[in-house]
Structures are given as structure tokens and as C-alpha cells.
Amino acid sequence: MEQPATAPLRVDKLQPKEPRGLVVVITGNGKGKTTSAMGMVLRACGHGLRSCIVQFMKGDLYSGEWDGVKRLGDLVELHATGKGFCGLRGNPYTREEHRANAQAAIALAREKLLSGAFNLIVLDEINNAVKHRLVDLEQVLALLDERPERVHLVLTGRNAPAEVVERADTVSEVNEIKHAYRQQIEPQPGIDY
């Protein structure tokens, strides 16, 4: 059907007949997993939805999203609960300290998930926390089982466990084709952290 060149732009707004929470997994070795979760938080804000981000293994290295989400106001809570990447050279904390942190974080995540106060829960780097046995796979599967059906749950980090992928609705694998740091370019604020 041909339209006149002057056809005015009509903006549609989707509205699902059956609103439901989705389980989304963002895994892989490339840049853009936490970043993608932050984008979902920003998008959710546009719909007036409330988000809670629990960051595992992060907390010892400043990242722009910590202050970025403050600009989104009271629709977003962010908890950077970790002490950095367990096992990464130079990290001064013991495995037991990392595990204690991660265990407190999973309890916090469960509390927020069941609170009724949030539409979207992000468990950032949870896949890594499982891989390093700071959190047990069974604990993550229990959260998936307990998830209220209208709440979205986003899980990020490399090496997503097969059991989590199996239960998710949407799973993306972010693969590194190139990364600036391999060309000895330092991490840059706004892009890398």
C-alpha cells in the first residue's frame, strides 16, 4: 500500500496482553553484559518500573553506574556488595571473605525479589560468583523458583550455568570480537567503567 510522501509518523506503544516477568541471562566473554543490564534498568525507568541491582564481586573498583543510577532517582537501588574479583591477581581478600560477602548478597537479593517493591531485579556477575563457588548453584535455582511471576530477573556474568540457561526465557551470549585492552589501551571512563 503506497503512502503519500507526507504520511505523518504514527507512534505505537506496545502493551502486552499478558504481562509477565522474564528471566534474562547475559553471558559470554565480551564487553556488554553488566552494561546491557544497566540499559534494561534505564529502559524500565522510562516505563516507571522499579529496579534493584545487586552486584556480586564488585565493590572495590568505582564504576560510573554507581552514580549514574542515582540520577534515575528513587526508581533504582544499587548494592555493590562485593570485594572485587575473587582469584584476580592483586585482590587482597580471602576466599572466605568473598564467600561471606556473596552469601550476604544472595540473602539481600532474595529479600528484594520477594519484597514486592521491585519490577526488575539484576543479579550482576552472579554467574561468576557461582563459578567461584561464592554462591551455590542451588541458591540461584531456588531464587528462580521463588521469583514472583511478574518480576523480571536479569542474571549476568561469564559462564552462565546450563541449569540457569535452561530455565531462562531470553539468553544472549556476548562474544568478544575485539577489545581495546588487547591493544594496550587503558580502560576509559564511561565506556569500560
- Identify the three-state secondary structure at position 187: coil
Please tell me the distance from the alpha carbon of residue 58 to that of residue 102, in angstroms, as a whole number. Answer: 10
Query: Which range in 42-50, 109-117, 130-138, 141-149 contacts a second copy by CB under 8 A?
Result: 42-50
Q: Which of 77, 100, 114, 137 binds a second copy (CB under 8 A)?
A: 100
Instruction: Examine residue 3 and tell whether it contacts a second copy (CB under 8 A).
Output: yes
Burial 135-170 (b: 16+ CB within 10 A, else e): beeebbeebbeebeeebbbbbbbbebbeebeebbee
How far is it between the farthest Cα atoms of the chain?
A: 68
Q: Which of 62, 133, 138, 142 binds a second copy (CB under 8 A)?
A: 62
Instruction: Examine residue 59 and tell whether it contacts a second copy (CB under 8 A).
Output: yes
Element housing 136 (H / E): none
Instruction: Examine residue 74 and tell whether it contacts a second copy (CB under 8 A).
Output: no
Closer residue to a second copy, CB minimum distance, 18 or 145: 18
Element housing 126 (H / E): helix 126-131
Instruction: Examine residue 139 and tell whether it contacts a second copy (CB under 8 A).
Output: no
Considering Cα of 159, then 106, then 111, then 37, what sign does the dihedral take? negative
Q: Which of 88, 89, 116, 178 binds a second copy (CB under 8 A)?
A: 178
Instruction: Examine residue 68 and tell whether it contacts a second copy (CB under 8 A).
Output: yes
Closer residue to a second copy, CB minimum distance, 75 or 143: 75
Closer residue to a second copy, CB minimum distance, 142 or 185: 185
Backbone φ, ψ for residue 120 (5° rounding): -140, 130
Find the shortest distance in angstroms from Cβ 117 to a second copy.
15
Considering Cα of 70, then 62, then 156, then 146, what sign does the dihedral take? negative
Q: Which of 4, 89, 145, 149 binds a second copy (CB under 8 A)?
A: 4
Find the shortest distance in angstroms from Cβ 137 to a second copy.
18
Instruction: Examine residue 20 and tell whether it contacts a second copy (CB under 8 A).
Output: yes
